[in-house]
């Protein structure tokens, strides 16, 4: 009888362990942390060449993890970039273009699957703290798209009539628009935390997001979790707490970046303190390049060309650092190309999740991220759209060759940017014919080498035709067949 009881007890323990695994309680399932800043330039991290300020926590994260110097967002602007990160799709595939406005009638569609929804189905707890910007009406907000917790803003901080003492210095037409914006609320879940953001609130945002993130980690340390920290900074108008104000040679912009770096340190320390270091994949990057027209209140993309709002490298190539001890080799410095759309399927593969039934554009790039010998990007090419479905550039998946298609782009044309939060106007230049750039030998996109590579031009033109057939092209008036509708308000 004792032997029988022992056998039964053993089977009971095995069954209980099996149930825990099925219910998502396995500690082997990694926590996922994505830190996504707003308008931070390629050169605005120490390891990427920052000047006038320091980022010791990000530098430490890089030493313990890996730097990715050829990591891109799908579009060089707020809403579109975030849509790509969260769904694994080119944003124009799912009907998200540019930066969505106040009280927009469109937003992230119910039929799309976000990272949060995919991970919830695998037993994850999900939390988001920061800027959403995928629709500011209730049906489009984070808790309706897979997040258990949310604290932050529905929009960018510039959709706000309370700019600190700067609105009177804007050009009259810009000032008139901004004065007409409704109050910008801060949300806690679906409840309003502040009906009207104040200047003092603006200065506290980065600290509040860090505190909420740490609290979320501590509360959920016994469960697998997905933490998405989407900082409102360093998007203008800049806000920083007193503990960092006036600390850097770079001025307010440098102060803001140092506070973001501090917040990264708070998250890393919380993971270590709670014994989660070895089982957490932390990803740090930005949503697009720097807003160069703001000058000393904008960042730097050196040595890249242009910045936010363009499909030159300065608009889409972002500083990227990833850390997962034992899984991502420490001290690695990679120039392999991949994109935010690839994170969704890569994470899905790691946690054993099924991909959505509808088409997504990203592919599993874990061999590249984990630095496996001989790893190659599985894509044929990457497509870069902007404006209303304009196909503006195509890049080979190894990241070497980039074809810039005829289009108009914004530029400062070598002129200085604005000062103290007041922008200067861009001029607009036209690319008259397709231009080819060798990004390995010419990262600044200075010399068109199309005449020397006719075979490569034909290959890339075939990639362009594939993109136009699938997603269309507003520049050549091609409709495309692969679009899905965004979410739309019915009232």
The reply to whether 379 belongs to the active site is no
The reply to whether 453 belongs to the active site is no
User: Which of these is catalytic: 72, 78, 145, 297?
Assistant: 78
Per the CB < 8 A criterion, the answer to whether 278 and 302 are in contact is no
Per the CB < 8 A criterion, the answer to whether 322 and 328 are in contact is yes
Closest CA to 42 of 315, 382, 451: 315
Q: Between the CA of residue 114 and those of 82, 108, 110, 344, 369, what are the distances in Å?
A: 11, 9, 10, 8, 21
User: Which of these is catalytic: 133, 204, 231, 297?
Assistant: 133
**Largest distance between two CA atoms of the chain:** 90
Per the CB < 8 A criterion, the answer to whether 416 and 424 are in contact is yes
Helical pair 343-351 and 78-87, crossing angle rounded to 10 deg: 20
Per the CB < 8 A criterion, the answer to whether 39 and 294 are in contact is no
Query: Which of the residues are catalytic?
Result: 78, 133
């Amino acid at each position: 009888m004792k032997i029988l009881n022992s056998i039964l007890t053993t089977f009971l323990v095995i069954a209980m362990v099996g149930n825990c695994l099925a219910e998502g309680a396995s500690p082997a399932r990694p926590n996922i942390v994505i830190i996504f800043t707003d308008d931070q330039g390629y050169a605005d991290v120490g390891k990427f060449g920052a000047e006038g300020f320091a980022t010791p926590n990000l530098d430490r994260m890089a030493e313990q993890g890996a730097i990715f110097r050829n990591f891109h967002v799908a579009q060089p602007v707020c809403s579109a970039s975030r849509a790509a990160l969260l769904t694994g799709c080119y944003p124009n595939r799912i009907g998200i273009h540019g930066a969505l406005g106040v009280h927009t009638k469109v937003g992230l569609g119910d039929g799309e699957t976000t990272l949060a929804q995919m991970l919830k189905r695998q037993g994850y707890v999900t939390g988001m703290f920061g800027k959403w910007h995928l629709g500011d009406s209730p049906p489009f907000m984070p808790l309706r798209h897979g997040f258990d917790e949310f604290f932050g803003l529905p929009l960018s901080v510039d959709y706000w009539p309370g700019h600190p003492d700067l609105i009177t210095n804007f050009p009259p037409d810009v000032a008139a628009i901004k004065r007409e914006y409704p109050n910008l609320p801060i949300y806690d879940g679906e409840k309003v935390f502040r009906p009207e953001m104040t200047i003092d609130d603006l200065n506290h945002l980065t600290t509040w997001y860090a505190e909420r993130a740490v609290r979320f980690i501590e509360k959920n340390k016994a469960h697998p979790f997905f933490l998405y920290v989407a900082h409102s900074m360093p998007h203008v108008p800049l806000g920083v707490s007193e503990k960092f104000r006036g600390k850097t040679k770079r001025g307010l912009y440098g102060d803001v970046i140092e506070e973001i770096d501090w917040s990264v340190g708070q998250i890393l320390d919380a993971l270590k303190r709670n014994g989660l270091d070895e089982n957490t994949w932390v990803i740090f990057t930005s949503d697009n390049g720097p807003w160069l027209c703001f000058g000393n209140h904008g960042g730097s993309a050196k040595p890249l060309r242009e910045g936010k709002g363009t499909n030159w490298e300065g608009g889409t190539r972002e500083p990227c650092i990833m850390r997962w001890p034992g899984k991502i080799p420490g001290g690695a410095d990679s120039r392999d190309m991949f994109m935010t759309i690839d994170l969704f399927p890569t994470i899905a593969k790691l946690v054993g999740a099924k991909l959505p039934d509808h088409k997504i554009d990203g592919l599993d790039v874990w061999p590249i991220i984990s630095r496996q010998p001989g790893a190659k990007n599985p894509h044929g090419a990457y497509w870069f759209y902007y404006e209303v479905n304009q196909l503006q550039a195509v890049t080979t998946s190894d990241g070497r060759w980039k074809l810039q298609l005829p289009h108009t782009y914004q530029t400062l044309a070598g002129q200085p940017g604005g000062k103290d939060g007041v922008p200067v106007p861009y001029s607009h230049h036209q690319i008259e014919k397709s231009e080819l750039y060798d990004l390995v030998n010419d990262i600044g996109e200075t010399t068109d080498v199309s005449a020397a590579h006719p075979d490569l031009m034909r290959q890339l033109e075939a990639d362009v035709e594939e993109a136009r057939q699938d997603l269309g092209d507003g520049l050549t008036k091609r409709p495309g067949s692969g679009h899905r509708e965004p979410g739309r308000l019915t009232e």
